[in-house]
A and B are shown apart, each in its own frame.
Chain A
Amino acid sequence: MDSAPTGLARSVAKGKGRKGSISPFRMTLIGLAGVIPVVIGAVLLFLVVYAWPAIRFNGIDFLLTKTWDLGNLYADPVPRHGVLAPIGATYGCLVFVAGTLASSFLALLVAVPISLGIAVFLAEGVKRVLRTPFAIVVELLAVVPSVVYGLWGIIVLVPIAAHIIAPVLAAVFPFIPFLAQAGGSGFGLLSSSLVLALMVIPVITITVFEALNRIPKEAKEAAYALGTTKFEMVFFTMLPMIRPAIIGAIILGLGRALGETMAVLMVSGGALNYMPTTLMSPISTMASFILSQLDSAEQDQSGLAVQSLAEIAIVLFVITVIVNIVARLMVRKGAGVSR
């Protein structure tokens, strides 16, 4: 990113001269900065160590099994796959992976066009005076606590989903089974996706908006010189210029959606052993399931249920870390292009 050294390192040429002698003050700073990598490493390490019996017990099937069954918790656990497990216990996270992917994907489907629209609107569409208050509206969306989104979801969004959106969709698309289920409580895939979309929109919008602002004036003027309208200039010149940043922003939003817990938990309906088949299906995401199942998993004396929850946490951790790394690299690349 910054090839030229800045800060103290640049102003103090002597730093290069005295090798090996790092002051205690600097050691302290290195130690404090080192906390961040240590935490990330520790999260992965300790979760794997803790979940190890479950990882051995579940094997690779964990990712492909739909059933989550704690087994008979009243009988003594018996050894299976070298691990003491309750009789009949089966742990699989396919339902939760499916719920997570489905809700995140639908959320992005809604959020991406809206976010791009808002970013363009803020960057080029509104008068300069209005830009700041409008931008604050978007930024405030990002700071509303997740649990408040959930509260609003239960009170406002779920009834709308059940009584307005679902019947309308069923009437308009009776031939598409995925959309045609009119019944249902409203708690489920649709409500989860809409809440997620609302939470993801500020993430994408702000990133794209900042990238739009970095585009040099000359590029815009060149487009105008070709006789474009303002919108054509934005659509055919500005947006293609920041494509890597847009993709990065979308992946960043995906990362946010994948890991979201409270809001989804409150409006998802909490599916168990049940794959989502329609827009109104109840779902569970990995994050919401980890949270909602702790109490029941703790009833398992063998500890395998709680350890299997830890295994879900590992899966979620690995997915979100990969998604975030990809996103950051894309956003950085996008920033480099226009600089």
Chain B
Amino acid sequence: MTEVAIAPSFNRAATKHRAVAGRKLRSSLGWAFCGICFLLVAAPLIDIILLVLVRGFSALSVDLLTQVTQGVSGGLLNAIEGTIVLSIGALIIGVPIGVGAGVYLSEFGDGRFGQTVRFLADVLTGVPSIVLGYFSYVTMVIWLGWQFSVLAASITLAIMILPYMAKMTELVLRQIPIPMREAAYALGAGDRKVVLRVLLPVALPGILTAVLLSLAISVGETAPLIYTAGWSNYLWDGKLVRSPIGYLTYVIWSFINQPFASAHALAFAAALLVMMTVLAINLAARAILRVRGG
């Protein structure tokens, strides 16, 4: 409170002092409230991380990482593999589309169409994941007859990361100074060359950050996968359709409700793997951004 600027009170009434003291007290109480608010969310976050770390590590074993799930015990190999397969699938589909959309928004997107796409990208990030999952269930799982499958699940995840990729790519590209583009054009390059040879290479670290964050979203997502990927106790058979696949978040959700200690152990181990992946990716992405952003 050193910034408090109070007029020097030569011979003012004592009430003035009391009023000032009251204001100071109220301000202090206000700051105390703000600090307590912060503690109120910091404590649960720390508790969540500790819970997952402690219970997860005590459940972790070599068998857990090398065996497949048998009923409510066994290992998590199938789920780990499934999460990797689904996430990579989502990135393969979602990243090119998202980067392309981002390039369009940044370089040509000042017209009405660009504004609309930009706005709808924001809207799409707000659509509940379960609605997207149901959409995929109706269209791919049922109508196209793919049943629970890698492809349906990956496309659903790709839809979820698409707006993030587009927005982040646009953000990164807009930071590249205009003269860089002009220099490339002056050398006779066309749109395609400018984008592919000049802009994207410069933006690569930023785009990689966006890809990492998208990966974190894919790894942590649950609800739409229950509708599209199903669950499988076995390793992936390599088929894109008509073959369900396991994934880690399913284990957390479904096994914690089982009354068996082995099921709980699997759930916490899965939570540990998911949390560590997501937190590591986010902290790494932040570090990259900070180093580049200065």
| Chain A residues with a Cβ under 8 A of chain B | 1-2, 5-12, 23, 25-26, 28-37, 39-40, 42-43, 46-47, 50, 113-118, 120-122, 125, 134, 136-141, 143-152, 154-156, 198, 201-202, 224-225, 227-232, 234-235, 252, 255-256, 258-262, 265-266, 287, 290-291, 294, 309-310, 313, 316-317, 320-321, 323-325, 327-328
**How far, in Å, is A111 (CB) from chain B's closest CB?**
9
Among B24, B40, B135, B142, the residue within 8 A (CB) of A42 is B135
B92 an interface residue at 8 Å Cβ cutoff? Answer: no
Docked complex Cα distance between A31 and B100 (Å): 9
Among B7, B134, B219, B257, the residue within 8 A (CB) of A309 is B134
Instruction: Count residues on chain B whose CB falls below 8 Å from chain A CBs.
Output: 102
Among A12, A26, A46, A114, the residue within 8 A (CB) of B41 is A114
Contact status B135-A46, CB under 8 Å: yes
Contact status A152-B51, CB under 8 Å: yes
Among B110, B134, B191, the residue within 8 A (CB) of A5 is B110
B10 an interface residue at 8 Å Cβ cutoff? Answer: no
B206 neighbours in A (Cβ, 8 Å): none
Contact status A43-B135, CB under 8 Å: yes
Contact status A146-B135, CB under 8 Å: no
B284 an interface residue at 8 Å Cβ cutoff? Answer: no
**How far, in Å, is A311 (CB) from chain B's closest CB?**
10
Contact status A120-B34, CB under 8 Å: yes
- Report B102-140 residues with CB < 8 Å from chain A CB: 103-110, 113-117, 119-124, 126-132, 134-135, 137-139
Most buried by B among A31, A36, A258: A36
Q: Which A residue's beta carbon lies closest to that of B194?
A: A8
Among B30, B130, B191, the residue within 8 A (CB) of A235 is B30
Known: A137-B45, A143-B282, A262-B253. 10 other contacts (CB 8 A): A7-B106, A23-B192, A36-B101, A140-B45, A145-B221, A145-B222, A151-B271, A198-B44, A259-B128, A324-B123
**How far, in Å, is A301 (CB) from chain B's closest CB?**
14
**How far, in Å, is B284 (CB) from chain A's closest CB?**
12
| Chain B residues with a Cβ under 8 A of chain A | 1, 3-7, 23-24, 26-28, 30-31, 33-38, 40-42, 44-45, 47-48, 51-52, 96-97, 100-101, 103-110, 113-117, 119-124, 126-132, 134-135, 137-139, 142, 159, 162-163, 166, 173-174, 178, 181-182, 185, 190-192, 194-195, 216, 219-223, 226-227, 249, 252-253, 256-257, 267-268, 271, 274-275, 278-279, 282-283, 286
Contact status B27-A232, CB under 8 Å: yes
Docked complex Cα distance between A265 and B253 (Å): 9
B182 neighbours in A (Cβ, 8 Å): 11
Among B36, B114, B127, the residue within 8 A (CB) of A40 is B127
Contact status B134-A33, CB under 8 Å: no
**How far, in Å, is A129 (CB) from chain B's closest CB?**
14
Contact status B30-A6, CB under 8 Å: no
A265 neighbours in B (Cβ, 8 Å): 253
19 A–B contact pairs at CB < 8 A?
Answer: A7-B110, A8-B108, A36-B163, A47-B134, A140-B279, A145-B220, A146-B223, A147-B252, A152-B44, A230-B3, A255-B126, A262-B253, A290-B130, A294-B226, A313-B134, A320-B127, A325-B119, A325-B123, A328-B119
A140 neighbours in B (Cβ, 8 Å): 45, 279, 282
Among B100, B106, B122, B278, the residue within 8 A (CB) of A145 is B278
Contact status A148-B126, CB under 8 Å: no
**DSSP class of A's interface residues: helix, strand, loop or mixed?**
helix
Docked complex Cα distance between A138 and B45 (Å): 9
**How far, in Å, is B159 (CB) from chain A's closest CB?**
6
Given A37-B116, A235-B30, does the pair A137, B41 have CB atoms closer than 8 Å? yes
Contact status B220-A143, CB under 8 Å: yes
A317 neighbours in B (Cβ, 8 Å): 127-128, 131
Docked complex Cα distance between A258 and B181 (Å): 43
**How far, in Å, is A194 (CB) from chain B's closest CB?**
9
**How far, in Å, is B140 (CB) from chain A's closest CB?**
10
B163 neighbours in A (Cβ, 8 Å): 36
Among B45, B138, B249, the residue within 8 A (CB) of A147 is B249
Contact status B37-A118, CB under 8 Å: yes
Docked complex Cα distance between A140 and B47 (Å): 13
A141 neighbours in B (Cβ, 8 Å): 41, 44-45
**How far, in Å, is B97 (CB) from chain A's closest CB?**
5
Most buried by A among B7, B181, B268: B181
Docked complex Cα distance between A326 and B24 (Å): 38
Most buried by B among A7, A121, A138, A255: A7
